[in-house]
Structure 1
Amino acid sequence: MADWNPLIFGVPSLPFAEAGEFPRLFAWAGPVFSAVVVLAGVGLAIWNVLGRRRFQRRGPGEPGETDFRQRQFRRRGLAAVLCTLAGLLMLSGTWWPGRDASAFIALGYWGFVGLIVLWMLLTALADMLASWHYFGKLADEADLEQLKLRVLADRLRKIQGNGKDDLALGVKKPPASAPNRDRP
């Protein structure tokens, strides 16, 4: 059943790599890809935990930021767990269901893996859209506040200048030889 003779490169072949299916060198592609997906999921989980700790040390900046960040950490944690689970299922799927399993079982198994991957992608998309909405709202609020301050500054300038601009009031600019305090 299993051919454990070393390949040209000195790597043993896997039990599912039989001569008629595909070259033995490509038999390692599935498990390697699965291991990369598992490592990516674990890395995302660690990154999420470190981000959460950094936020807790820094403290909230905006009034609704804590609620947004808690939901964000939950979504990102779920995506990391789903990524790890999908990688583990893909890794175990390279050996099971094997040739002796029915097509219905294999189709159900890989359909379940596909649903997990789809759920993970939808969770990541939801996180992206929620972040885009939240930070867009903050940018809109900042733009509105800047506009309010600009209008207030124009009003104060008109009241102080009696509706006239600086040139009409005869405001003299300091001479060029005068020291400028703004320069270092």
Structure 2
Amino acid sequence: MRDLAGDNFRISIYGRHCDKRVDAAAALIRWAGSAGIHYARPGYDTTKGIIGEISGFPITARTRTDLGTVFVEFGLEGIPAATVKVDRKKLTDPEDIGAIRMLEHRIANLPSLIEHTEQQIAAETHAHAEAVRSLSAPFKHGEALQEARTNLERIDAQLRAMTEPKEPQPENTPTDDPAPITKPRIIHTGPDAIPATDTRGMSR
């Protein structure tokens, strides 16, 4: 990565090597005209490929629609966070060097961007390691969970027993030949008693 501050500025756009920012803006306008940027339709975003180089990084370009307005998004190949978005109307003004300045600014901020990315990677790596450690550790509430599951099964069994219909008990039905009823034999005693006569063996 080269320092682009002051007179050290260097850029290549559309086959033209420039050491002045105004010349780079003019080269960008010529590229936009040849790529048909001014005729790009909203919603039909297209990739334009590599259009130049700055500080050793290829410059990529694509159209992108935002709220119905067509923009041109320039980026540094291989660095997703180093992109700039420019309204396509500004690419017609040869005195507007805003897109060139933004690309230059992205190059100047690359060291801090790399540092921030490394910190994010370290944080994600640590979080992943903590997640793996937590998953491999035994569940500290395992015994309580098993006890609760056992109690739930016991209560469920009791509820099922209470709601299950009971089988009806068989009723006592009378037999076909009921037992004969024996009348009690009355025996009178006393002076007025009439002696019982044994009729067995008497003829009619």
Q: TM-score, normalised by structure 1?
A: 0.28
Q: Max radius of gyration: which structure?
A: 2
Q: Structure with the greater relative contact order (CA < 8 A, sep ≥ 6): 1 or 2?
A: 1
Larger helix percent? 1
Larger strand percent? 2
